[in-house]
């Protein structure tokens, strides 16, 4: 191996290690925020995080920037970051935005037509959810599986549109705090009506897929806009009845004034 090749390899290894440290720090910090370990409004001290997470300041700083981009942190005027809080209206608007983008994606998929292989994958995902919902009661493992399948179906909606731009915008909208398709499923797991709510959501999944297959663009868009209203209802239930122990991050949402 030449000296140049060896140096290049060493640099690449160093870059990979730095990236891994940043991702690790980002995941740990996100968990600390959503669990309430770092409280709403708390100022983040880089040096204390270095000690707690066992990584250097460089990946910590990069992780903080990424979490600001995600919306969980806000940059302070004189430097540093603090844990953000969100009004109930902000979260509702984020969910509404996701519904609008998903609705547009569904309409374009219906109007443009979809490759059979992608439709088949979407149908298979929904069949897996059907299998879960046939059970009289859902375990924690069932809810975990539901979250995975639900996330995959919503991701496929972007692929069904055939638009890379819309796929990126859907991913961006779903990355907003509490706006992902399964953001409030954890709360539903503790509700006696959880299975009923998921059955309604699943029926809407099938409806939008049917509308896409039948090339009914307006109907496909309307179903996805209506689908987002379920998330709005779950948001209201979360803010009014959940506790930090059963809804990660709910303590960051400020209730509307009566």
Confidence band, pLDDT 50/70/90 cuts, at residue 113: very high
| Measured CA distances, 134 to 130, 131, 221 (Å) | 6, 5, 27
- 71 pLDDT above the threshold of 70: yes
User: Which class in CATH covers the domain with range 87-254?
Assistant: mainly alpha
Helix H or strand E segment including 162: none
Q: What is the mean pLDDT of residues 135-154?
A: 84
Could you tell me the sign of the dihedral formed by the alpha carbons of 180, 185, 188, 190, in that order? negative
Higher-pLDDT residue of 255, 205: 205
Calpha distance 155→174 (Å, rounded): 10
- For residues 72 and 38, the answer to whether their CB atoms sit within 8 Å is no
- For residues 75 and 44, the answer to whether their CB atoms sit within 8 Å is no
pLDDT at residue 253, as a whole number: 77
Calpha distance 15→13 (Å, rounded): 5
pLDDT at residue 238, as a whole number: 66
Cα end-to-end distance, the chain, whole Å:
71
pLDDT at residue 23, as a whole number: 83
Which residue from 83, 88, 77 is spatially nearest to 64, judged by alpha carbons?
A: 83
Token pair in block for residue 135: 């059970």
Taking the model in full, what pTM does it have? 0.69
Calpha distance 136→28 (Å, rounded): 35
Helix (H, G, I), strand (E, B) or coil at 82: strand
Residues of the chain above pLDDT 70, percent:
81
- 40 pLDDT above the threshold of 80: yes
Break the chain into its structural domains and give their ranges. Answer: 14-84, 87-254
Strands laid side by side in the 43-44 sheet:
43-44, 81-83, 73-75
Calpha distance 237→166 (Å, rounded): 30
Token pair in block for residue 85: 């809080």
Residue with tokens 């709510």: 197
Token pair in block for residue 7: 């140096």
Residue with tokens 């490759």: 115
Burial 70-84 (b: 16+ CB within 10 A, else e): ebbbeeeeeeebbbb
Question: CATH second-level architecture of 14-84?
Answer: Orthogonal Bundle (1.10)
The mean pLDDT value of the chain amounts to 81
- 255 pLDDT above the threshold of 90: no
DSSP-derived letter for residue 38 is S
Q: What is the mean pLDDT of residues 136-155?
A: 84
For the ranges 111-115, 131-135, 215-219, 235-239, which has the lowest average pLDDT? 235-239
Q: What is the mean pLDDT of residues 4-25?
A: 59
pLDDT digits (tens, 9 = 90+) for 166-218: 888 888 877 776 777 776 665 555 555 667 888 899 999 999 999 999 999 99
Higher-pLDDT residue of 125, 51: 125
pLDDT at residue 13, as a whole number: 47
């Amino acid at each position: 191996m030449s000296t140049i090749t060896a140096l290049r390899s060493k640099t690449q290894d160093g870059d990979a290690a730095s990236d891994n440290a940043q991702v690790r720090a980002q995941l740990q910090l996100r968990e600390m925020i959503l669990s309430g370990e770092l409280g709403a409004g708390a100022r983040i001290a880089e040096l204390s995080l270095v000690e707690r997470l066992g990584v250097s300041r460089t990946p910590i700083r990069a992780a903080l920037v990424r979490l600001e981009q995600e919306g969980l942190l806000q940059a302070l005027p004189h430097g540093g970051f603090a844990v953000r809080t969100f009004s109930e209206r902000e979260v509702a608007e984020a969910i509404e935005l996701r519904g609008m983008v998903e609705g547009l994606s569904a309409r374009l998929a219906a109007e443009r037509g979809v490759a059979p292989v992608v439709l088949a994958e979407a149908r298979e995902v929904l069949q897996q959810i059907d299998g879960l919902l046939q059970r009289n009661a859902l375990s924690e493992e069932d809810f975990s599986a539901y979250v995975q399948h639900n996330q995959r179906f919503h991701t496929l909606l972007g692929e069904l549109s055939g638009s890379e731009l819309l796929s990126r915008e859907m991913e961006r909208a779903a990355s907003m705090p509490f706006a992902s398709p399964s953001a409030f499923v954890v709360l539903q797991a503790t509700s006696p009506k959880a299975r009923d709510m998921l059955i309604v959501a699943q029926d809407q999944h099938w409806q939008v897929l049917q509308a896409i297959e039948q090339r009914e663009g307006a109907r496909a868009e309307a179903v996805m806009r209506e689908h987002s209203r379920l998330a709005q209802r779950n948001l209201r239930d979360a803010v009014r009845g959940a506790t930090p122990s059963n809804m990660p991050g709910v303590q960051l949402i400020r209730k509307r004034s009566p």
